[in-house]
Amino acid sequence: MKEYNKIKGNIGEVEAVDYLKKMGFKILETNFKLKFGEIDIIALDKNVIVFVEVKARDTLAFGRPIEAVDYRKQQKIKKTAQMYLIMKKKPYADVRFDVIEIVGDKIDYIKNAFM
C-alpha cells in the first residue's frame, strides 16, 4: 500500500507541475529535500515564490487531501522554505504557500492555503 501511495503521489506531482505551467508559473524546483522536510514544487508566479504541497487521493473516503496538510506539516514546509530562501540568497522574497489537491482526475488549487 505504501508503494502505491508513493506512485500515486508522484503521478499527482507531475499533474500538478503541468497544471501550474498552464497557469503561467515557472517551475524552479521539484521534490526539494532537506533532512527535516520536503517541498513538492517550488515555482515562480510573477514575482512571488510559491511553495506548493501536492496531495493526491483516489477518493474522499479518508477526507479531503488538504486535511493531511496539518499544522505540523505546515511547520515543516515553512522551515524548509526558509532554508531554501537562505540557500538561494533570497531571504526577503515575497512568498506564498499553496496546496494542490487531486482526487481522481479533479484538481483543486488552493492559493494561500496557509501562512
Our count of domains for the chain comes to 1
Sign for the CA dihedral angle at 103, 35, 51, 112 comes to: positive
Q: What is the CATH number of the domain that holds 102?
A: 3.40.1350.10
Domain limits for position 59: 2-114
Characterize the bridge pairing of strands 95-103 and 48-57: parallel
- The model's pTM is 0.91
Residue % of the chain over a pLDDT of 90: 77
* Reported confidence tier of residue 11, pLDDT bands at 50, 70, 90: confident
Tell me the pLDDT band of 92, cut-offs 50, 70 and 90: confident
**Selected residue with higher pLDDT from 12 and 96:** 96
